[in-house]
Amino acid sequence: MAPTLPSSDQASDQDNWDNGRLARKRQLLIEIVLRNKLTALVVDGDTTCRVLEQLLLRSYGVQTQCVDNDRDAVALIASGVKFDLIIIDMILPVLNGLEATRQIRDMGVHCKMLGVTICSGESERQVFLAAGVDVFIEKPLDPEHLVPILRELDGQ
Amino acid sequence: MDVVNQLQRQFIDYSASLHREGFLDDQFTQLQKLQDDNSPDFVVEVASLFFEDCEKLINNMARALEQQQGVDFKQVDASVHQLKGSSSSIGAMRVKDVCIAFRSFCEAQNREGCLRCLQQVTHEYSLLKNKLQTLFRLQQQILAAGGSIPVVE
């Protein structure tokens, strides 16, 4: 499929969907074109993971914010900011991911929550799901897991 | 063009060897695919972040294991856990594998086993750092010669 070239060569900072760049990525990553502007929050205490997860989401055009601890995450959501997707680790600096997830759900937040963590045991999975995440994903977060979820959120 | 081709070939061969020897896995390839003209140094930057994290975590583990009055294995485990997470996110397979063994020793509260793993993880981290620095240097040379970085599947 021939890539459609943008009318101008400059990609604006705001717009993640520069056609030329997207076309090249299309050949390399699992392709998806989002119809809607989705927003996400990444909650991870580890810098490397946080940066990478944010980058992955942004590469699909998802407007992404990051916090490095659960207390800030809960405060941000309590302040009324809405997200389509929350990516949260189980082990976090202040409380923990389980408690943060519970608190977020208790606030009546129904958005999609992904528990993305290095813990890979069945018991951890059950515990995280019971706390309120919709999907349990073992790190690292990759397109194969993420894309179907983005599709679903986008109503495709 | 000839110089570029040569450098690109070197880059591909070197990348392949890093994968073959288990230093990097598919996750690293995914990261390279995320790199583009708008963020050409992204992989280098993320690697630097990772190495900073590594050093900090390794120091935490060493300090905790040095305690004569009884090691806080939970603290060691927390650091190993974090290192396992970040190494798997960047595709540092050998570092991640040591973390897996390391966590078992933490769970068993085996100080000697932990110390051995600490040595191993330090070793793997410095090996990887050197290898990636070489890879990035090759990248720079390709770009400086006017070529583009090949994507290694």
Q: Is the dihedral of CA B37, B87, A38, A14 positive or negative?
A: negative
Assigned token pair, B1: 């063009």
Domain ranges of chain A: 36-154
Chain A hits for B36, Cβ within 8 Å:
21, 24-25
**How many angstroms separate the CA of residue A120 from the nearest CA in chain B?**
11
Chain A residues within 8 Å of chain B (Cβ atoms): 11, 18, 21, 24-25, 28-29, 45-49, 51-53, 55-56, 59, 89, 91, 117-118, 139-143
pLDDT interval class at A99 (50, 70, 90): very high
What phi-psi label fits residue B121: left (phi over 0), alpha (psi between -120 and 50 degrees) or beta?
A: alpha
B interface mutation test: which of A12, A25, A118, A137 has the most B CBs within 10 A? A118
Nearest to B88 among A45, A47, A139 (CB): A139
Share of chain B above pLDDT 90, in %: 74
Average confidence (pLDDT) over B140-151: 88
Q: Is the pLDDT of residue B151 over 80?
A: no
Chain B hits for A21, Cβ within 8 Å:
36-38
Name the residue type at position B41.
D
**Locus of tokens 């809607």:** A36
Chain A hits for B30, Cβ within 8 Å:
29, 142-143
Given this model, what pLDDT does residue B9 score? 94
Neighbours of B119 (CB within 10 A): 12
**Tally of CA atoms within 13 A in the half-sphere of B49 that contains its CB:** 17
For A24-42, the DSSP string reads HHHHHSPP---SS--EEEE
Q: Is the pLDDT of residue B23 over 90?
A: yes
Cα–Cα separations (whole angstroms), residue A151 to A30, A33, B51, B94: 12, 9, 34, 34
Average confidence (pLDDT) over B52-69: 92
Given this model, what pLDDT does residue A156 score? 83
Q: Is the dihedral of CA A14, A86, A151, A156 positive or negative?
A: negative
Q: Find the closest chain A residue to B89 by CA distance.
A: A140
What CATH class has A36-154? alpha beta
Q: Per this entry, what is the length of chain A?
A: 156
Q: Which of helix, strand or coil describes residue B21?
A: coil
Q: Is the pLDDT of residue A151 over 90?
A: yes
Q: How far apart are CA B120 and CA B24, in angstroms?
A: 17
Assigned token pair, A37: 């502007």
Are the CB atoms for A42 and A55 separated by under 8 Å?
A: no
- pLDDT tens column, B101-138: 999 999 999 999 999 999 999 999 999 999 999 999 99
**Locus of tokens 């890879």:** B135
- pLDDT tens column, A21-67: 444 443 445 678 888 999 999 999 889 999 999 989 988 999 999 99
- pLDDT tens column, B78-99: 899 999 999 999 999 999 999 9
**What is the reported pTM?**
0.79
Chain A hits for B97, Cβ within 8 Å:
none
Structural domains in chain B, sorted by start: 1-145 (1.20.120.160)
